[in-house]
Amino acid sequence: MDYLQGLNPQQRAAAEQTEGPVMIIAGAGSGKTRVITYRVAHLIHKGIDPFNILVLTFTNKAAKEMRERISKVVGAEAKNIWMGTFHSVFAKILRVEASKLGYTSNFTIYDTDDSKSVLRAVLKEMNLDDKLYNPNYVYNRISAAKNNLVSWQEYQQNDQIQADDFSNGRGHLGKVYEMYATRCYRASAMDFDDLLFKTNELLKNFPDVLYKYQNKFKYLMVDEYQDTNFSQYLIVKKLAAINENLCVVGDDAQSIYAFRGANIQNILNFEKDYPDLKVYKLEQNYRSTQNIVNVANSIISNNKEQLKKNVFSEKDHGDKIKVIRAFSDNEEGKTVAETIMQERTTKGLKWNDFAILYRTNAQSRSMEEALRKLNIPYKIYGGLSFYQRKEIKDLIAYFRLTFNPNDEEALKRVINYPRRGIGDTTVDRIILSAGQNNISLWEVIIEPSKYLDGRSAGSVATFSTMIQSFQVLAKNQSAYDAALHIAQHSGLLKDLYEDKSVEGLNRYENIQELLNGIKEFSEREDIEERGLDVFMQDVALLTNDDNDKNPNAETVSLMTIHSSKGLEFPHVFVVGLEENLFPSQMSLNSRTDLEEERRLFYVAVTRAENKLTISYATSRFKFGTLINCEPSRFLDEIDAQYLELDFKAKSQTGNPFFDDDRKAWSRNSDTFSKPKPPTQVKTTSLLAKAHVPTAGFAPSDTSKLQVGMEVEHERFGFGKVVNLEGNKPDVKATIFFKEIGQKQLLLKFAKLRIVEI
């Protein structure tokens, strides 16, 4: 058993415990993969047939890495282990058993685009408004149902689900689900969620199949168990029911995927399912310095729902965690970029020693621009560069067309987005006419009646009139006012706003972040010309691809914290530690959501090996308005002895809030008291006026509130209900207020007056 010599006592004990239910609680950087690897190798050395071992992971990369490590210990036998992601393993089983479910063994697996294409066809056939029944929303709704093992039949028969759909104005969702499922079945196709849904159906309805695989998989191991959903939990429980040789590995402190359906209760309540459970805690962190580990411990200790463990490190204490305060998000980016440059120069580090982590994709803009100005190479990890995202390119195409109507690529990109009845056939005719008459596409468009038939000519004429109005406006308005007008009147902003999926919200936030950047540009005092055309020239320089770039060159990594899970870097910057950003405003209505945000912060901190820097801004543009920001409550939760506050540089603006903030965060204080915002907050938006409630204002009974109703709030003013979610008494309303934009409110506390019923 020489292969076990390199394990510490707890790791070895976990690897050697092969019989019965086992839970390995693996703290960050504690060698989890190493333990799984040697535990499987130990099973094989004990004489267990690799064909009887099932190892389930969440990524193909993790499965591949484990198999390679196991093969170094046991040789070719590693190839016979059933190892892979939940979806890949059960797709394999489903192909063998497909006929029992009425499928052919070569059934197709639909990806997300395939699924949404089917949904669009269903919606069209049912004559449903694809704005209300947005394909992204419908897809996510059906996905959530399948992950909770709710069939279309059960969906239609569940009174609560039906009531929710009708209250949201989407009473036909159950029928859409039925038709979608029928189409997939008719095509002998399964979508990604079906691979788990159908496996549960198979094991439930065919006892002989369940018995077959219970006896085949005598030993089960599940990695990242804290990320399992209800469907995965049931499959594992059924397969392990006879032998109960089930080992789950995970860390409740790193459960951050509730939005994907992950249920932290699966790991928290594991002992209730298996009373004779043996628990092993891997508490030594081999990745991070003692100071970083101490900070992580002080953060996660504030969560009530957790499996207690005492993570420690035997590495050096390391540097204290530096906290940077900046006046604005642009200054935050500038400070982070300068710090990276200085650290690399003075300490001989490489660019890929650095990572910048943020809560939302939109935050990458200020970081990217600051890095570019210092010629620091970087790569957006797990996502596109801010200016390469589709929604950003779409709006910028409108800007380009406004200043250069002969820009044919920009024109073709937006002529029918958002959709305005100018289909591919019409566009082809425009291109053909331009070629035949040796003129530009724009020349055809401004005189469409010469080249196109009546209906298409009318749609094209409306489009050209809109672009010409943008051209006139852009000459006389500030960069921000022109950009906001174009975003609104092109229909792009409305189209993104109405997409309530997670992806849709991200796209909408990205557009707002672009507008925020233009707002800051239009208020700069260090340049004379601040029109939208000048901003576009700057953007063109920022986004100009360097064809000589070496794809293997070292780069600073930029990514969301969710994307960083499983990675590690010598020096990590966690940016944007502000209330309503991190923790997210959407997480402040329940302890469950807030604790997930805290776990997300824990994950961010534990990505750092040697040095950790945290930053926040005291002001940030949001929806075109400069708002004051309060430091995140998470900063309060870090023991002050591990921090170094870097508040020497004072902003040239002399902002009083900045000074108050500086005093509240004095270096000598034992605890961090959050600064109080000033009594008057200066705003740069002419729209942000204080609301005066209607005379005799009195809150209404909101139990019958419906989507589409007009309401009044004492502070936020008049707004329209755009979404309702949750169950009584915890129903949340998403309301678009005319003066301040979108807010999500808990109805039992909101005090709304219903204006229109």
pLDDT in tens, 6-19: 888 899 999 998 89
CB distance 502 to 361 below 8 Å: no
What pLDDT was estimated at residue 25?
92
CB distance 514 to 365 below 8 Å: yes
* Least confident stretch, 377-381, 596-600, 714-718: 714-718
What pLDDT was estimated at residue 384?
58
Order of strands across the sheet that contains 643-646: 378-380, 556-560, 354-358, 569-574, 608-617, 321-326, 643-646
Active-site position among 164, 165, 191, 223: 223
CB distance 445 to 460 below 8 Å: yes
Q: Which amino acid, one-letter code, is at 67? A: R
Active-site position among 287, 607, 633, 753: 607
Q: Output the DSSP codes for 502-527.
A: HHHHHHHHHHHHHHHHHHHHHT-SS-
Looking at the predicted structure, is the pLDDT value of residue 468 above 90? yes
Q: How far is CA 120 from CA 152, 235, 492, 498, in A?
A: 18, 31, 20, 16
pLDDT for 272-281, tens place per residue?
A: 889 899 999 9
Looking at the predicted structure, is the pLDDT value of residue 334 above 90? yes
Q: Output the DSSP codes for 88-107.
A: HHHHHHHHHHGGGGT--TT-
Q: Which amino acid, one-letter code, is at 310? A: N
CB distance 317 to 291 below 8 Å: yes
CA distance 720 to 713: 11
In degrees, rounded to 5, the angle at the alpha carbon of residue 94 between the alpha carbons of residues 93 and 99 is 125
pLDDT band, residue 290 (cuts 50/70/90)? very high
CB distance 320 to 349 below 8 Å: no
CA distance 191 to 196: 10
Looking at the predicted structure, is the pLDDT value of residue 1 above 80? no
Q: Is 304 a catalytic residue?
A: no
- Per DSSP (E only), the strands in 5-57 are 22-26, 53-57
What is the percentage of the chain residues whose pLDDT exceeds 70?
Answer: 90
CB distance 613 to 339 below 8 Å: yes
**Token pair in block for residue 267:** 């790991």
What backbone torsions phi and psi does residue 572 show, to the nearest 5 degrees?
Answer: -120, 135
What pLDDT was estimated at residue 588?
84
CB distance 239 to 222 below 8 Å: no
DSSP 3-state percent helix, strand, coil across the chain (nearest 5): 50, 15, 35
Burial class for 169, CB neighbours closer than 10 Å (0-12, 13-18, 19+): middle
Residues 6 or more apart whose Cβ sits within 8 Å of residue 749:
none
Active-site position among 85, 226, 228, 254: 254
CB distance 396 to 386 below 8 Å: no
pLDDT for 106-121, tens place per residue?
A: 677 777 767 887 898 8
Residues 6 or more apart whose Cβ sits within 8 Å of residue 572:
354, 355, 356, 357, 604, 605, 607, 608, 611, 612, 613
Residues 6 or more apart whose Cβ sits within 8 Å of residue 549:
none
CA distance 245 to 32: 19
CB distance 709 to 757 below 8 Å: yes
Q: Is 223 a catalytic residue?
A: yes
Q: Half-sphere exposure of 737 toward its Cβ, with a 13 Å CA cutoff? A: 22
Average pLDDT, the chain: 84
Looking at the predicted structure, is the pLDDT value of residue 75 above 70? yes
CA distance 233 to 203: 13
What pLDDT was estimated at residue 52?
92
Among 111-115, 523-527, 571-575, which range has the highest average pLDDT?
A: 571-575
- Between 534 and 282, residue with greater pLDDT: 282
Active-site position among 33, 108, 290, 543: 33
Q: Is 113 a catalytic residue?
A: no
pLDDT band, residue 675 (cuts 50/70/90)? very low
**Token pair in block for residue 44:** 């094989």
Sign of CA dihedral 670, 648, 521, 613: negative
Burial class for 251, CB neighbours closer than 10 Å (0-12, 13-18, 19+): buried
Q: Is 254 a catalytic residue?
A: yes
Nearest partner of 694 among 709, 712, 678, judged by Cα: 712
Looking at the predicted structure, is the pLDDT value of residue 688 above 50? no
Active-site position among 224, 252, 353, 499: 224
Active-site position among 32, 365, 598, 599: 32
